[in-house]
Chain A
């Protein structure tokens, strides 16, 4: 197996252009699980761990190499709450948001926040330069994205006007270190509520019907919230698997969304 350790972004892009089949390695917290389980044996690995350019962290730009441990302390409120729920301290010290975006698991803990914040994914290739892909065009299926083989995810670009009222919650069958059975982000801005959910569809999703419903209301009375929760439960498209059931996921999605709306108003 070839192993390439890129020292900077140019070197990484050149290597990826030369060997588009090379598997990118950032924190390794997804990749090494796949390798250890022998689900995946990449022919070559391109390590991004030394690429300083990917570690930039500002409110408007989260470098792909920024770890959960940093986001837990310095991220936007909703993303920081999500970061805290990723694995163990050791995993959070290694795992990166870029890896979470690239893996594009329906259960990716950082993804509902990205789509609720309406952030974009910045990707680069040596041949075609920079593309900034809107959140709703990036995640296209279970662990499938619109990233091209010669491209590297460089950053999550956050709109300047992202509201500060953000709340995240995640349900699992254990109270820490667990893969979500449902996760939810609510962001409350001047234009109303945005609601995003994870683990309830093939990709992280926005509950647009529920958003329209609640944003058309003038109050958030209990009956409005109950109706809102009902629509969220109806709108999600979960499955039954070894982690949970479809009916529980629908139910929990509605409860979480309702609770987060309430929390965002406090």
Chain B
């Protein structure tokens, strides 16, 4: 079906229309979850385990209860319903159930009249611990079978061999999503035993399911509402404080606010899995991959969260966007007393992209071949089988076009400017121009779109025509990525009016939109909005015998046949849909099958300046080509590409949680370093538009792709500059010097 935008409609698809929440955000008028408050509200605080592994022998809440202004002190004994929660597997106690399994595990929660009293009361709780040896070695966990999931991929001939062989061992550190908005929740009793809960979330319906189970409530008694979110990147895919704040509100009958401070945020959400990866790549003399063998260990920490899905992604994208007929992957997500890991932008593909792209560079070196040429010779395309699962790639996958376009982009000129802000070491004035060497590196990645492995993945949306314009109802979470704008653009394009408002419904008003993760909302909720808008338009056109819907009414052969007031004479007219992507299936015992709904590819080229004597790096420029299917909002795409790249640059050269015997040593922005403006490279972007097989107008989701190969591209550039064989990210100064 071709769609043309009705005359005079502004802000349809393909335009860089500004986001409606942009101005309030930059002027400080946007209400984030942590800004919510009401009369008579209580504050709250959480007591956490000081040990990574310990038996809770005795807890005395008496001293906290006795404090003036304290209204409730709750422990695991006070959980009314299911004692355990979890998105995939219910394995985590709401509050410590006798054994603390990670450092910072919540033990008790307190509500009090003010923030300081709540904090002091939490600290006044007396806990007797018997510290146990923390189990923190992922290799040992894998050996001993302490795992969340073990996944085998066996494709082709295990005995196949190539004449050129490279082997390597790679590691990635624990990266934190570090969203600027901390975890926040606000619970308001409804006076009838239920609650309205405003929470930072990526998926309120999956939160809701876990919350009602633990509170032993009927679904309609608890209503989860989206609250203003300052970034997520996977950190809000799992429950944090939701059940705690709800319990405190139910216990006191008062509105309760809970907000984590920065350090608490670092322990209060799941992180990117740290990984240990061994790879062997075998190729023939022409550089064709013959066999890839990989062993992957991702540390999931103490509780399951999304580890089962993350390890599957790591395994299925272990070879990257390349053809290879013989693949052996053994992947395992292990259970330890390290900080729990879960979703983060790229979701398992980040780790294996680092390992496999480093391998591709080594292979190019061994073959004495240009690294891009090697990638081109093996490039995966639509219609090819994915090297791991054997799934035939449906939709578009312009790997070759992405590589060729990237190579053709101009490089910065060779002059190194004598401005300290543009040199390694930056304002620290460490590095004269004469001490700088430049390097260039490339990397390419492929990742799935939306949920996989037979998950019933859908999004609900309702389009409603009113006399004041169109309302789009959804429970999809806008976390800053710009879904709100895309929904408006899609509805405007189809319904012929620029008067479109997105209305965020709570869990009682509309069904699930699925998670704001897996790069899925543009395709899934965008797809639902598209289908709802088409359904609404067709319903209206049919009722009035028109052939076009415009801002002022229904037209037939360019003549107005019914005004919007006439269309809405019986009240607003709506259309509700549930949108699903193509069906996916569980992999068989060899990891084979149609596991994924769709795929996206992108590539990065990094230019870095390195001070090899001090091991300091400045990432000068990162260029990228992104497969987008169809660019619905070009400016929003650039925003995602720049932001994703910066997060990838962070993992490449600075971001890591330092975890020592299960204890996080740097849970502050003083010591968990994320790139500043001085560290941010210039970014140039190109997009490839080859429509996909599902989603609105052929668009693909691009939330994760830009962060995945940015990291190995930067590391490849540092290798090119220094000759150092770098095998771990982040690359630290001592790694570059080799001490």
Contact = CB atoms under 8 A, between A and B. Distances in A.
17 contacts: A36-B262, A169-B429, A172-B428, A173-B654, A173-B673, A174-B426, A175-B427, A175-B678, A176-B421, A176-B427, A183-B428, A242-B665, A243-B671, A248-B615, A248-B737, A255-B614, A259-B430
A207 interface: no
Interface in B657-672: 658, 660, 665-666, 668, 670-671
B618 A175 contact: yes
Contacts of B653: 173
A248 B429 contact: no
Contacts of A177: 676, 678
Interface string B601-616: 0000000000001111
Interface in A18-32: none
A68 interface: no
A124 interface: no
Given A175-B678, A181-B733, 4 more contacts: A170-B430, A175-B424, A176-B678, A242-B658
B432 interface: yes
A37 B668 contact: yes
B734 A171 contact: no
A57 B123 CA distance: 44
Nearest to A88: B676
B428 A179 contact: no
Contacts of A81: 429
Interface in B315-368: none
A171 B616 contact: yes
A235 B678 CA distance: 33
A171 B425 contact: yes
A85 B665 contact: no
B734 A179 contact: no
A174 B673 contact: yes
A148 interface: no
B432 A259 contact: yes
Interface residues of A, number: 35
A256 interface: yes
Nearest to A174: B673
A175 B431 CA distance: 11
Closest 7 CB pairs of A and B: A175-B426, A176-B678, A170-B428, A242-B665, A248-B734, A242-B658, A174-B673
B606 to A, nearest CB: 16
Contacts, number: 95
A169 B428 contact: yes
B147 to A, nearest CB: 29
Nearest to B123: A38
A58 interface: no
A139 interface: no
Contacts of B424: 175
Contacts of B616: 171, 175
B119 interface: yes
B634 interface: no
B96 to A, nearest CB: 20
Interface in A222-266: 242-245, 247-248, 251-252, 255-256, 259, 263
Contacts of B668: 37
B683 interface: no
B77 interface: no
B659 to A, nearest CB: 10
Contacts of A243: 671
A243 B671 CA distance: 7
A168 interface: yes
Nearest to B670: A179
B614 A174 contact: no
Contacts of B732: 173
Interface in B527-584: none
Interface in B114-172: 119, 123
Nearest to B665: A242
A38 B119 contact: yes
Interface string A154-184: 0000000000000111111111111111010
A51 to B, nearest CB: 28
Nearest to A86: B427
A33 interface: yes
A179 B430 contact: no
A172 B654 CA distance: 10
A252 B426 contact: no
Contacts of B678: 175-177
B460 interface: no
A256 B615 CA distance: 12
A175 B429 contact: no
Contacts of A172: 428
Nearest to B668: A37
A171 B261 contact: no
Interface string B84-124: 00000000000000000000000000000000000100010
Nearest to B616: A171
A84 interface: yes
Contacts of B282: none
Contacts of A174: 426, 654, 673, 675-676, 679
A33 B668 CA distance: 10
Contacts of A173: 653-654, 673, 732-733
A174 B262 CA distance: 20
A178 B671 CA distance: 8
Contacts of B671: 179, 242-243
A18 to B, nearest CB: 25
B426 to A, nearest CB: 3
Contacts of A256: 430, 614
Contacts of A176: 421, 426-427, 676-679
B408 interface: no
Nearest to B617: A175
Residue among B666, B732, B734 with max Cβ neighbours from chain A (10 Å): B734
B26 interface: no
Interface in A34-75: 36-38
B12 to A, nearest CB: 40
Contacts of B635: none
B734 A247 contact: yes
A43 B121 CA distance: 18
A248 B430 contact: no
Contacts of B618: 175
A84 B430 CA distance: 13
B739 interface: yes
Contact of A244 (B119, B670, B673, B734): B734
A85 B425 CA distance: 11
B144 to A, nearest CB: 29
B261 A36 contact: yes
B14 to A, nearest CB: 37
B37 interface: no
Interface in B395-439: 421, 424-430, 432, 435
Contacts of A33: 670
Contact of A170 (B429, B432, B666): B429
Contact of B739 (A84, A180, A247): A247
B590 interface: no
Contacts of A252: 614, 733
A171 B733 contact: yes
Nearest to A36: B261
Interface in B608-649: 613-616, 618
Nearest to B657: A242
Contacts of B262: 36
Nearest to A263: B432
A242 B266 CA distance: 16
Nearest to A258: B613
Contacts of B586: none
B252 interface: no
A175 B733 contact: no
A255 B613 CA distance: 8
Interface string B258-280: 00011100000000000000000
A46 to B, nearest CB: 20
Contacts of A168: 429
A244 to B, nearest CB: 7
Contact of A171 (B119, B428, B677): B428
